[in-house]
Chain A
């Protein structure tokens, strides 16, 4: 039971170089795996490959194996993939269908596409809205939401398909601090309450420090570092790999480097 990428290489259609050169990655239900790396290290590509959209929808050449619960993604059609693995991008505006009058219907859009009975669509929409904690937004016009609200609606809309895994590509990068907190809290709740496995690409390592179980660091299309979240985010090689460490890690490092004796009081203050 997992999304498994083994020895994955991937090249976009028309590209001469491989965007992913060597990726091994495992996402289990109920776990939050953070993905970080410098720009153009392959983070977004990993999302598309893990969710099965590359090469299925976007084309390109894939080598190695990508399996969701043991099934090769290449054998699944897009709507079958959508029920196994949800995908969320950074820009809420491009993810809403633009064809619904209310947030409730927007969240019901996926289940409606599956042709589920009306009662089931209603159940799923309320469940997804409740899990993300945005029942209040249900009557609103999706075109008139703030960035943070829009992203939460997009998350609920993907959840309504009841996927066992979620892949999120920088879901907070367009958001203000309050919006970032809302999304981070919602993701933590989704992982706890639905048992979904979450693959989260995120520049804001402070968010990962809060909710990730594991962190994978990419460099030029390959895994450079991987492991439990806390030690990986504190790894001194992180900065060389183009990743800003969490604020607490940076501060502890500055204090230690200044030759100041580390103490329990300091550790308590810098958390």
Chain B
């Protein structure tokens, strides 16, 4: 990797030299600080995120995201709802890969009730979880082009996402927001023909990944706009609680699917965790691409051996979860999403702390955007990948 290392070093050196030259120019020209307001409605941001950037010439002196434009008060709403109602609500936090939001909450409730879903339900949950990851990240790959001015990948992403959404809709009834998980298992079994159709779709998604790789990642413009930009070192990433592909792109070997023992089926199949040592925007994008491919392979393996049996454990009709506290977190498409559920033996939770991945991922933005150029703001945000519902809950 020495050639890439020297490429990164050379780019970083030239970037730093350019910044220094600009700084000298700014002093000469006496450019006053200009405050640039990006958002909250802007085609480049993934939703209603407002970035207030103070500029000196073309460089950012400080930048601050202003959140709260999608704050819907989830944690307060969960206190007045029952567990099935919370499951339906919680779908909408990370609204691209929705099934993945339900799973940690249901697992936390099941932990408190000390029941486990039957094996068939666990496998199907894992399959749907990975499908939602594919649906989520394939849109990221499409959006990546839009952030840099290439509009074609978005149409391809939407087209290929439709196949995955068809699958999820066939199984659960909802394109996204499936609301399919229940305490003790799933609402229903898989429909006939799901397995064969999924295999076909996974092949299509692998082709899509190859297309994206050829179209975007090899492109010289993409490389020069992402290599060496927005480098986040390992220890800073840990301090801010970055998770998911952002952390793996900084060289940390961390994947909750492998490192935790949850009642899901990841440890029953063979798959690889992708990391990248650089920690720049390119690394983050690259890791996500590899993860989508890996997800398709996981789904293929899972489809081979789904155990038979019921999809729902024996639970009472009206569920009261016993008193206690539980924390469950999973490797969601955006990162680590966890729920800290406090129960007082009631029909609904007493307090739910929703630890959403994008909140931590975006908290690093003031640190990482110091001194970058204005167009790089957009690409760094694109590579960090957030969903507004996840930040603002």
Question: Are A and B a genuine interacting pair, yes or no?
Answer: no
